[in-house]
Structure 1
Amino acid sequence: MSEELLPKSKIADALGTNPMRVSRFIERQKINAVKKEGKRELFKLTQFNALKDELGEPEAGVGKPKEASSKDELILTLKKQLLTQKEQYEQVITSKDETISSLQKSYDDMKSQLSVKDNQISTLTQLADQAQKLNLVDKPRLIHENKEDMSEVNKETEKPKKKHWWQFNK
């Protein structure tokens, strides 16, 4: 019988459980059907040895906590889990608030640094403008002095004009 191909319902009957539990086991273990006949999937019974072992344990082993055998214990367990999650949530919120406040401080510091930079740029622009105005005021005087200096230099370095052969008689 173990080499025989069976549908989910027959496997459930052979193991003494319901077909839904067999279906969940197939999904969890990702067991592929050996053969398909239309919509029916056929499996070997030997593929379900792990399910036999699991069936030896109480139904709680499939997805429920093992210690919660009654509804009251299950409710208490869920309440504890909710309280733990609430504490974790509050810690996350506190951490986010601290992060936001530190980012706000950083933003304010950067804002003040930007205002200092803007003041420095405006001061530098004013100084450059004043330097340019002074340069424009001094430029005509410097040009005039330069022309005089150049004319003196030209006079000193001026070579006598070369006389051509026809000018020697004169």
Structure 2
Amino acid sequence: MLKVSEDLLTKSRIAEALGTNPMRVTRFIDRNKINVVKKEGKRELYKLTDFNALKEELNSPEANKEAKSHGFSKDDYILTLKKQLEEQKLQYEQVLKSKDETISSLRETIATSQKSYDDMKDQLAVKDEQIFSLTKLTNNAQTLNLVDKDPKRIQAAHSDAETKPEQSSSSEETDDSTKKPPKKHWWQFGK
């Protein structure tokens, strides 16, 4: 500490001499209305002896307790920041865990949807087979119905189906008497 004398000092030098911070010195000046002794440019100079009351205030045990309860050291700030970082890390890990759970849930949903899709495809294949079988049965029923009504028609239908398209076209050429004249279109009427 600097010795107490009639020297003129700035606020920061006074704070250094008394072992406190410049803000506390400024508050003491405002509270006790201490006047500036001299100004050198922007610097305000005070007598150190005007701050004996502040020195006594700082040395009292109550002031030390109050300073400890209100003041934070760098270590306190570091510990506080470490705690905040640990809390943020825990929150981040919880977010990651939640994200992983969401992803696994979505994968299960996709697998279930894929299984449902495959089941639907199988059901559609069964439906197609049933339709094919039903169509066959319907054709057979119609054929049986025709046989009951007119057996000659069924023989003609079978013979027409068994003959080749070339043979049927040649038979049509020979039987011109049953053939109808070709239909005329509108552009052919002028000819």
Which TM-score bucket, shorter chain as reference? 0.3 to 0.5
Report the structure number with the largest CA radius of gyration.
Answer: 2
TM-score, normalised via structure 1 length: 0.44
The higher relative CO (CA closer than 8 Å, separation ≥ 6) is in: 1
TM-score, normalised via structure 2 length: 0.39
